[in-house]
Structure 1
Amino acid sequence: MTLSQLNAFLAVYSCGSISKAARELFVSQASVSESIARLEEELGIRLFLRSSQGLVPAAAADELRPHALDCVNAARRGSEAVKSLHSLTGGVSTFGVLRYAANYDLANLVVGFHEKYPDVRVRMIGLNSELVAQSISSGEIECGLVVLPVSGNNLRFKKLAQDEVRYFSTTREADAGAVTIEEFAAAKLVLYDAHAGWNDPTRRQLRERASLAGLTIEANMEVEHAETAYNLVAAGAGDSMMASGILRSFGPDPKIRSFPFSEPLYDIIALVQREHGYLSPATRRFAALAERAVLNQPGLTPLA
């Protein structure tokens, strides 16, 4: 069984005709007929039946088709991968990033990638991690960076680094110590990522802790952007929590004091892709660049 035979089989399957398949493949009808005959001889069964409408796939052809597609596509991808060792001269890389990539100084990933591979188009999509994971699971995005935990089917994660999540306030005393989940649940809270809500990975961890303690957490104010939440806390509207890397990106504010949680809380940044999904050569290169950027990020604790 050869790739040329499988290509001929797939063409006949979709065209329903030896002559149409030959024109599609730019080969002779005799070549297509011989490929089908050799396949049928090897398998010991008829693949196509003749009818007034042309060639109709037999049950064996229906069984063979998905495997033939896998083989042909795997060969094409292998060729692309080997060629990409020398250069990337086209294609599109679709990559998802955690929403606050800019706060971690990851927004320049596209610039760095484009400098190395100017002929490759890049789609870098910044969403809440939960939405990035769903988009990868559905196949809309090939690969991405997320903060764990997220939900999604058939996903493979590579943990890269962690960042401590801290409570911050303008009213809490500087020597008050670590924040318990009981204090957090009782506080006047300003929380961001309103659209994702309690599907947000950091919020999800806190809600699970509160649930174990028999508590509920309610936000007094919910906003969409972390910077808005930071400014509201600075104005005395309430308290909040945020990963240290995001807090640092807003610069020092003498009014704001940050505190650890009594049970340390971390955002874990991970590279995620579908369990058996294919990454284009361009996206593999982009993912490697993103991984290095995370591991070299000041203030993060590498896990990889």
Structure 2
Amino acid sequence: MTLNQLRAFLAAYSCRSFSAAAKDLGISQASTSELISRLEQELGAPLFARTSKGLSPAPAAEELHAHALDCVNSARRGAEAVQALQTLNGGVSTFGVLRYAANYDLADLVVQFHRQHPEVRVRMIGLNSHVVAASVAGGEIECGMVVLPVDSDGLEIRPLARDEVRFISSTRPAGAGPVSIQELAASKLVLYDAHAGWKDPTRRQLRDRADLAGFSIEGEMEVEHAETAYSLVAAGAGDSFMASGILASMRHEDNVRSFPFAEPLYDTIALVQRKHGYISPATHRFSVFAERAIAAQGGLTSLV
């Protein structure tokens, strides 16, 4: 079985005619018929029946079609990927990043990428992870970096690193020790990412823990930005929780202290792409840049 045989089969399946398939392939009708005949011999089953309206796919053709398409597309993408190792002379990279990309020094990715590949256009979209994951699954974004958990239907997920999530407070005593889920539920909480709400991955983890323990978590105040939540904690308006990478990027206030959770909690940073989805050479290269940037973060625990 060869790629040329599969290409001839796909063309005939699509055109329902050997002559039209040959025209699409740029070869003779005899060559097209011969390629398909050899494929039928290889499979031991007929692929088409001739009718007054043209070619009619046999059951074997219906079974083969999806696999042939995957095979031919994979070969094409492999060739593109190898060519991309040499140079990227154009195209568009569409990549989603977690909303707090700047806190993990990811904001400079576009500048670094553009220096090496000035002819490639980049669309780097920063949204809450659950939106990035949904956009990748829906085909709006080719690839993205998210914090887990996200809805994984239709996605391939590759964990890269994890970052400890810590409780922050300006009123809790410095020596109070780790924070239990019961104490968290009883706290006056300032929550950020108000638009994403409880779809936010960090919030989801904590709510799941609280549900298992028989508690509920509610926010006294909800704001959109982590910086605003941190300022409110510093002002004594309430307590919050943040990943260490985000916390480290804040302008430090002496009265704000951070504490681990009694059962350690982590944000897992991962790359996501659609299952069997196409990743352009430009986006593939951009994802390599993003992965390297995460690997260079000193405060994260690598998972690769």
TM over 0.5: yes
What CA distance in whole angstroms lies between the structure 2 residues aligned with 1:110 and 1:148? 23
Change (3 A) 1:41 1:131: same
Pairs within 5 Å for 1:215-254: 215-254=215-254
Identity of aligned residues (%): 69
Name the CA distance, whole Å, in 2 between partners of 1:75 and 1:303. 30
Q: Which amino acid aligns with 2:180?
A: T
The structural deviation recorded for 1:44 is: 4.4
Q: Is 1:21 the counterpart of 2:21 in the alignment?
A: yes
Which moves more between the two structures, 292-301 or 25-34?
Answer: 25-34
Alpha-carbon distance in structure 1 between the residues aligned to 2:24 and 2:12: 10
Residue of structure 1 equivalent to 2:292:
292
**1:278 Cα deviation after fit:** 5.0
Q: What TM-score do you get using the length of structure 2 for normalisation?
A: 0.87
Whole-Å separation in 1 of the counterparts to 2:277 and 2:149: 20
Once the two structures are TM-superposed, the CA of residue 245 in structure 1 deviates from its matched residue by: 1.7
State how far apart, in whole Å, the 2-side matches of 1:156 and 1:25 are: 33
Q: Distance in 2 between matches of 1:262 and 1:3?
A: 57
Which residue in 2 is equivalent to 1:100? 100
Q: Secondary structure at the match of 2:168?
A: strand
Cα deviation code 1:81-132 (max 9, x no counterpart): 2222222233333322211111111111122112112233333222222233
State the distance in 2 between where 1:302 and 1:49 align: 56
Residues 5 and 179 (structure 1 numbering): CA distance in 2 closer, same or farther, change over 3 Å?
closer
Tell me the equivalent position of 1:134.
134
Residue ranges of structure 1 left out of the alignment (5+ in a row): none
1:160 positional shift: 2.8
Which range is displaced more, 67-76 or 54-63?
A: 54-63
* Number of the residue aligned with 2:271: 271
Deviates more, 1:134-143 or 1:202-211: 134-143
Measure the CA separation in 2 of the matches of 1:271 and 1:41.
42
Query: What secondary structure is seen at the aligned counterpart in 1 of 2:70?
Result: helix
Question: Which whole-Å CA distance do the structure 2 matches of 1:269 and 1:53 have between them?
Answer: 54
Gaps of 5+ in 2: none
1:85 aligns to what SS in structure 2?
Answer: helix
Q: Tell me the distance in 2 between the aligned counterparts of 1:33 and 1:168.
A: 71
Q: Name the counterpart of 2:197.
A: 197
Alpha-carbon distance between aligned partners in 1 of 2:264 and 2:45, rounded to the nearest angstrom: 64
Q: What is the TM-score normalised by the length of structure 1?
A: 0.87
Provide, for residues 221-254 of structure 1, a one-character-per-residue CA deviation record: whole Å limited to 9, x for no partner. Answer: 2222222322333343322111122122221123
The equivalent of 1:208 in structure 2 is: 208
1:183 partner letter = E
Shift of 1:154: 5.4
CA root-mean-square deviation: 2.5
Amino acid paired to 2:208 = E
Q: Give, in angstroms, the shift of residue 79 of structure 1.
A: 1.4
Q: Amino acid of the residue matched to residue 57 of structure 2?
A: P
Instruction: Determine helix, strand or coil for the equivalent of 2:71.
Output: helix
Letter in 2 for 1:33: S
Q: 1:264 to 1:6 in 2, by over 3 A?
A: closer
Residue type matched to 1:221 in 2? M
AA partner of residue 94 (structure 1): T
Tell me the residue number matched to 1:301.
301
SS in 1 for 2:202: helix
| Distance (Å, rounded) in 1 between the aligned partners of 2:203 and 2:13 | 51
**CA gap 1:160/1:47 in 2 versus in 1, 3 angstroms:** closer
CA distance in 1, matches of 2:164, 2:226: 16
